């Protein structure tokens, strides 16, 4: 039996790299096609109506936009960006400048000042500076006691040994450059039996090296 050879049509796969670049990939290619069609509508009133409908679709496809302030403004900006800044509609917000996409965010200033005691952290120094500016009195004494309790907890996270109240008081005075004088008679009380001294997110089996490093930092801090 002789079979006729039939030409088989093969479908050529079209990869995204061969397609037109998406300006805002989060919304997908269908939204891009909607916007491309929107630009071809000659009737202005109908074009405005379809633009608002596309905004609703974009809002559904990108629900996280609601977490941003003035999210509706952000959606209209995205619509203009998808159109290649070539869309004539009566939008409630002006079209953003194309150059605005190239603006780099402002660098976040980082505090490069070395930490005096790593096992307490940098925030402790800020709290101590705040307390040092307070006038002597019951409020300042209560703040010092609360700070000392927190510092004792931080100390015990990295050092399983017990720590005396006097050691914590000396650290407060030293970290404050002796601007704070711990009043006599302050008692921190006993450590809560339910206190978990494990560092959050650190495997106790693998944290030995980190704990040894923190202990060395504590020793070096007291030698200064």
Q: For residue 113, tell me if it sits in a domain.
A: no
Residues 134 and 89 in one domain: no
- Residues of the domain holding 130: 122-223
Give the pLDDT confidence of 134-168 residue by residue, as tens digits: 999 999 999 999 999 999 988 888 776 788 899 99
Q: For residue 164, tell me if it sits in a domain.
A: yes
* Residue range 52-60: mean pLDDT, rounded: 95
CA pair distance 155, 171, nearest whole angstrom: 11
pTM: 0.46
Residues 73 and 156 in one domain: no
Residue 168's Cβ-count burial label (10 Å; 0-12, 13-18, 19+) is: buried
Q: For residue 202, tell me if it sits in a domain.
A: yes
Residues 62 and 150 in one domain: no
Confidence of residue 224 (pLDDT cuts 50, 70, 90): low
- Going along the chain, which residue ranges are E strands? none
In terms of phi and psi (left: phi > 0; alpha: psi -120 to 50; beta: otherwise), the region of 178 is left
Taking a C-beta distance cutoff of 8 angstroms, is the pair 89, 42 a contact? no
pLDDT of 7 > 50? The answer is no
pLDDT of 106 > 50? The answer is yes
Taking a C-beta distance cutoff of 8 angstroms, is the pair 163, 188 a contact? no
Q: For residue 81, tell me if it sits in a domain.
A: yes
Confidence of residue 2 (pLDDT cuts 50, 70, 90): very low
Residues 153 and 210 in one domain: yes
Please name the residues in contact with 144: beta carbons below 8 A apart, sequence gap of 6 or more: 131, 172, 180, 182, 183, 186
Token reading at 56:
């609703």
pLDDT of 6 > 50? The answer is no
- Domains in the chain, number: 2
- For all residues of the chain together, what is the average pLDDT? 82
């Amino acid at each position: 039996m002789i079979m006729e050879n039939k030409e088989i049509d093969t479908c050529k796969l079209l990869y995204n790299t061969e397609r037109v670049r998406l300006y805002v990939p989060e919304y997908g290619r269908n939204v891009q096609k909607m916007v491309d069609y929107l630009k071809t509508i000659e009737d202005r009133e109908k074009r405005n109506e379809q633009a608002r409908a596309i905004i609703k679709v974009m809002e559904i496809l990108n629900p996280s936009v609601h977490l941003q302030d003035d999210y509706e403004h952000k959606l209209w900006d995205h619509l203009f960006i998808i159109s290649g800044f070539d869309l004539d509609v009566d939008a409630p917000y002006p079209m953003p400048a194309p150059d605005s996409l190239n603006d780099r965010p402002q660098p976040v200033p980082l505090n490069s000042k070395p930490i005096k005691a790593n096992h307490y952290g940098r925030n402790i120094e800020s709290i101590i500076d705040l307390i040092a500016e307070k006038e002597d009195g019951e409020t300042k004494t209560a703040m010092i006691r609360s700070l000392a309790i927190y510092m004792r907890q931080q100390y015990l996270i990295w050092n399983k040994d017990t720590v005396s109240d006097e050691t914590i008081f000396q650290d407060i005075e030293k970290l404050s450059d002796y601007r704070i004088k711990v009043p006599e008679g302050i008692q921190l009380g006993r450590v809560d039996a339910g206190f978990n001294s494990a560092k959050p997110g650190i495997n106790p089996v693998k944290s030995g090296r980190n704990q040894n490093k923190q202990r060395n930092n504590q020793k070096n801090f007291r030698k200064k």
